[in-house]
């Protein structure tokens, strides 16, 4: 199915649905990054630790095929508006808003994975007291980092001012919070979010 932005450009998911890119060796479960986050969010909700969900994105369907009377197949659809970030909710009395991205690059994360409107959205949320960050997965090394939005904004501005167009892996090691897989939750990312909250207080 082809899904497009309002300006007609094709949509490239920030969380790629390809099994080749997303499969992990965590307990042979083969979960995608999106599944890992959703599973963790379900655990946090069950334990009444946080209420965080993936944002629904409204689309306008423009082409549908009916190969069978009982089945309809969407062939083309458009986003009614440009997407912002993947997830939002409430944790420990704070509004949480974040995007999840993956890269096959082993030495750096290309900033082209973000769109300008996503950065602007996070900046607006931070200005209102929200907690924003990026959850970044280096697929080949199976490493996941939480990058505080303030650091993301700094790297974004560095690019806009003619600097490098990516964030070096070494910069993640120095500035970001590394998330190690566990059983429950699969991705204990709120531990890092609490540290970001503590820094903002």
Which helix (DSSP H) or strand (DSSP E) does residue 116 occupy?
A: helix 116-127
Question: Can you tell me which residue has the tokens 């993301």?
Answer: 152
Number of domains within the chain: 1
- Maximum Cα interatomic distance, the chain, rounded to a whole number of Å: 58
Question: What digits encode the pLDDT tens for the residues 43-63?
Answer: 999 999 999 999 866 556 667
pLDDT of the residue at 68:
73
Say what the pTM is: 0.75
CA distances from residue 137 to 8, 72, 84, 160 in whole angstroms, order as listed: 29, 35, 19, 23
If we measure between CA atoms, which residue out of 94, 84, 165 comes closest to residue 119? 84
CATH of the domain at 22: 3.40.1350.10
Q: With contact defined as beta carbons under 8 Å apart, do 15 and 32 qualify?
A: yes
Structure tokens at 148: 């505080």
149/130 Cα distance (integer angstroms): 10
pLDDT of the residue at 34:
93
Is residue 111 in a domain? yes
Is residue 63 in a domain? no
Is residue 34 in a domain? yes
129/122 Cα distance (integer angstroms): 11
110/92 Cα distance (integer angstroms): 32
Is residue 25 in a domain? yes
Is residue 7 in a domain? no
Judged against a pLDDT cut of 60, whether residue 152 lies above it is answered with: yes
120 Cα distance to chain centroid: 15
Judged against a pLDDT cut of 90, whether residue 182 lies above it is answered with: yes
pLDDT of the residue at 95:
97
Is residue 118 in a domain? yes
Residue 78 CB contacts under 8 Å (≥ 6 apart), including other chains? 3, 4, 5, 6, 59, 60, 62
Question: What digits encode the pLDDT tens for the residues 73-105?
Answer: 777 655 445 568 999 999 999 999 999 999 999
Is residue 142 in a domain? yes
Range of the domain at 118: 16-56+82-200
Residue 95 CB contacts under 8 Å (≥ 6 apart), including other chains? 88, 89, 125, 128, 129, 130, 131
If we measure between CA atoms, which residue out of 56, 50, 193 comes closest to residue 130? 193
Is residue 10 in a domain? no
């Amino acid at each position: 199915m082809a899904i497009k932005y309002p300006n007609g450009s094709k949509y490239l998911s920030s969380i790629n649905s390809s099994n080749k890119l997303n499969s992990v060796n965590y307990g042979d479960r083969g979960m995608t990054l999106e599944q890992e986050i959703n599973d963790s969010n379900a655990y946090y909700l069950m334990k009444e630790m946080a209420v965080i969900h993936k944002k629904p994105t409204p689309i306008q369907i423009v082409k549908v095929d009916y190969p069978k009377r009982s089945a309809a197949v969407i062939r083309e659809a458009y986003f009614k508006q440009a997407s912002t970030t993947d997830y939002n909710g409430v944790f420990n009395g704070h509004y949480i808003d974040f995007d999840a991205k993956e890269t096959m690059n082993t030495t750096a994360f290309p900033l082209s994975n973000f769109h300008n409107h996503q950065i602007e959205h996070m900046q607006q949320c931070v200005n209102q007291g929200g907690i924003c960050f990026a959850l970044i997965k280096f697929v080949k090394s199976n490493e996941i980092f939480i990058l505080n939005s303030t650091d993301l904004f700094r790297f974004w501005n560095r690019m806009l001012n003619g600097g490098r167009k990516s964030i070096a892996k070494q910069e993640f090691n120095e500035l970001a919070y590394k998330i190690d897989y566990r059983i429950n939750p699969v991705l204990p990312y709120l531990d890092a979010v609490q540290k970001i909250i503590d820094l903002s207080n």
